[in-house]
Structure 1
Amino acid sequence: MDNNLITETENTSEQIACIKCGSPQILAGYPNKLCADCRQQLIKFPIPLWVKLFGAGIALVMIISFIWLPGNLSAAIALSRAEKAEKSHDYITAQNELKKAQNNAPHAIEILSHLTIAAFHNGDFKTVLEASDKLQGKEIEDTALYNELNNVITQTNEYFPSDTFKTSFKKYKNLVIPDSAYRTYIKKNPMDIYTIVALASSYSDNNDKYQNADTLLSKAIAIDRSYIPALYLKTMIKRELNQPDSSIYYCDQVLLINHQSTYALSSKARTFLKVGKNKEGLLLAKQCYQLDADMPYNLATLALAYHFNKDFKQRDAILDSVKKDSTNAPYITYVKDIISNKIKFQN
């Protein structure tokens, strides 16, 4: 008899037999008690079709995950960088990273939420509306993110005329709204910050009404200290009123909200230039240009900075590069008027 076979011949309390056929001749050395024939049959037993299909499905999922992994990983890295920039109030960096993330995950709720927030702080309301529209009907599980997003959407509404405003001024559709109409409306709607700033803005082109504009802007800021249009105008009005310290104060108030606000940085550069701090002004103007090389206000500021630092070659290069675009005309005209001394800029 084969030495590998164990034949049960003695009477014991537990009979040892093949668990499949009951044969007492089982193969030793295996945890499952099987005879040689049954063990061989099980070894050759065909794999069921459903097991093969299941395995193929798992393999397919793994292949797809390997294909998509680089995109998902890139989106995750970009989102992480954006969140870090957002916490640091560097919203241009945040929005740039979120655009990268969106390219790989265009419908990701978290990416769209942060993109809406960053775009709002950058004054990019086109992106705010596009991103927030894609979030309609979506569930945002992160409570803090939801609250911040909700706050941004509420604030965005204040940057546009209300239905009450539209109804009250519809007769002036293609006409300039007179001061008296503005003031009557504000008296009835004293918390309508959009209208208060709109009236202040209408005064910003008139030297004789700078003080009136300043008073209105103070009223707007009393309603909402973070209302960017009011703070922006304050930086300019205070500069034109020869109050440079106050102008810089309001620039810094904007920069507390968004460290990369190119308008605030550019306005601060102009205030430095106005008081003769030409090198400081040029440094800030260059910083603005690095953040946004297309914004006409920034380009005009950089041209002014080069002018007062007597780098006329660089000044003229900027003016030549933007003169083809008609939207730049008001900014270029302002710079040329300062260059020709038509406008006295520095004290």
Structure 2
Amino acid sequence: MNNDNWYQEQFFNDEFDYPRCENCGNPKIEAGYEMKLCKECREKLYRKPYPILIKLLGVAIVAVVIIALIHFPSSLNAGIAYERGLQAESEGKYVTAMKEYKKVVKRFPDSTIALASLFVTSYQNGEIDDLNALYDKLEGEEITDDSLVDKVNRTVDCWNKYYYISDELDNILQKAKNMDNDKAISLFQEYMNKNPEDISSATYYYGILLYDIGELQKAKKVIEGALKSNPDNYEGQLLQAEIYSEMGEYQKATDCCNYVLKHNVEYSYAYDTLARVELMNHEDKKGLKTARKAFQLNQKDSGIVATLAIAYHYNHNTRERDAMLKKFKKFKDDNTYDLDLMEGIFSGDYQWR
């Protein structure tokens, strides 16, 4: 006998409308469920295998959830890093901000907002070599944040004004290396008269030339004039600090460094210059503390390493001095000026101060 139809055969009666199992007709339906089924049929239904489509769909949903969970932490971390970058930037901590934005770019390499923020902070930290690659990625892209657009535009303006070297100026710089001082000075003056729009970068290099040949008064006058109209030229401010320091005007030199640090409290080159000013002024402990701060912020610059070595020397710490000298010699940037300076100071052959 077919048990599935037994109840239908025994109790089927058109005259009565008792609730029955919708599958086999058994009047003993299981209470508490919307679908009317007896206990036996309900158990059979629950033991049925899932169709393959439902199985595959379920697996796909689980896979999507797993992938989302895998990527969610890194996406969340990138968001946190970006917020930290904004906070650091608002506090003038551009090294910290730059590091945070690099984390975001690593996770989202095509993020226009992250790249733009990294571009701005890289400039603020004097990481000029990184700007070209970042600018190439940003060129032609749309930035929806108006305040960020403004910062990028101002950064590009300063970059062009203070760091761009025209072919003509570059040619003069190359020629000046093999000229006597008077001819080189004349060449610079002629160029600046002819290219007044390029006065910022040309004036800076002209000031360096005058400084290098010992024309400190002339260099001071040239750089002071340039900074009156362009005080946000950080390299100009630090060059002026070096000139003031050489002339014994230590407070003015300190003021120049502090001007830069007011805008970026983590500008390693400002701390480096300030450390040399302090050491020149025989403030050896103070100079060592400042030199360590510069090194803490930037260990990739040979000049900063040289300053720390000199600071250790004047604080009679020869072990650390020699370690820094050894580290300096591993650089491949041909910084012969600082090498000669250190060797002269350490041997006693050169009276730096």
Which secondary structure does the structure 2 equivalent of 1:141 belong to?
Answer: coil
- 1:172-211 CA distance string (max 9 Å, x none): 584217211211221233342011111111112122x111
Which secondary structure does the structure 2 equivalent of 1:204 belong to?
Answer: helix
More helix by share: 2
Matches within 5 A, 1:232-271: 232-271=238-277
Shift of 1:297: 1.3
For normalisation by structure 1, the TM-score amounts to 0.80
Which residue is 1:13 aligned to?
A: none
Choose the corresponding residue for 2:341, options 316, 334, 342: 334
1:159/1:194 contact within 8 Å kept: yes
Which residue is 1:86 aligned to?
A: 89
Residue type at the aligned position of 1:202: L
1:232/1:251 contact within 8 Å kept: yes
Does residue 1:291 correspond to 2:297, yes or no? yes
| Distance in 2 of aligned mates of 1:322 and 1:82 | 31
Residue type at the aligned position of 1:61: V
Which residue is 2:25 aligned to?
A: none
Question: Taking structure 1 as reference, are residues 181 and 272 closer, same or farther at Cα in structure 2, changes over 3 Å only?
Answer: same
Which residue is 1:344 aligned to?
A: 351
Which residue is 2:167 aligned to?
A: 166
**Count of aligned positions:** 327
| Distance in 2 of aligned mates of 1:173 and 1:179 | 11
- 1:136-181 CA distance string (max 9 Å, x none): 232211111111112112211123345xx424764x5842172112
Which residue is 1:138 aligned to?
A: 141
| Distance in 1 of aligned mates of 2:276 and 2:173 | 35
| Distance in 1 of aligned mates of 2:69 and 2:213 | 63
Shift of 1:109: 1.9
Which residue is 1:119 aligned to?
A: 122
Shift of 1:282: 0.8
Does residue 1:108 correspond to 2:116, yes or no? no
Q: RMSD in angstroms over aligned alpha carbons?
A: 3.4
Residue type at the aligned position of 1:176: A
- 1:246-271 CA distance string (max 9 Å, x none): 00000001111211111111111111
2:81/2:103 contact within 8 Å kept: yes
Which secondary structure does the structure 1 equivalent of 2:163 belong to?
Answer: coil
Which residue is 2:8 aligned to?
A: none
Residue type at the aligned position of 1:339: F
Which residue is 2:316 aligned to?
A: 310
Shift of 1:321: 3.0
| Distance in 2 of aligned mates of 1:334 and 1:260 | 26
- 1:57-91 CA distance string (max 9 Å, x none): 54443222112112212222222222221111111
Instruction: Report sequence identity in percent.
Output: 27
| Distance in 2 of aligned mates of 1:90 and 1:54 | 50
What 5-or-longer segments of structure 2 have no aligned partner? Answer: 1-15, 17-28, 178-183
Shift of 1:53: 6.9
Matches within 5 A, 1:36-115: 57-115=60-118
- 1:78-112 CA distance string (max 9 Å, x none): 22222221111111122222222222222222221
Which residue is 2:285 aligned to?
A: 279
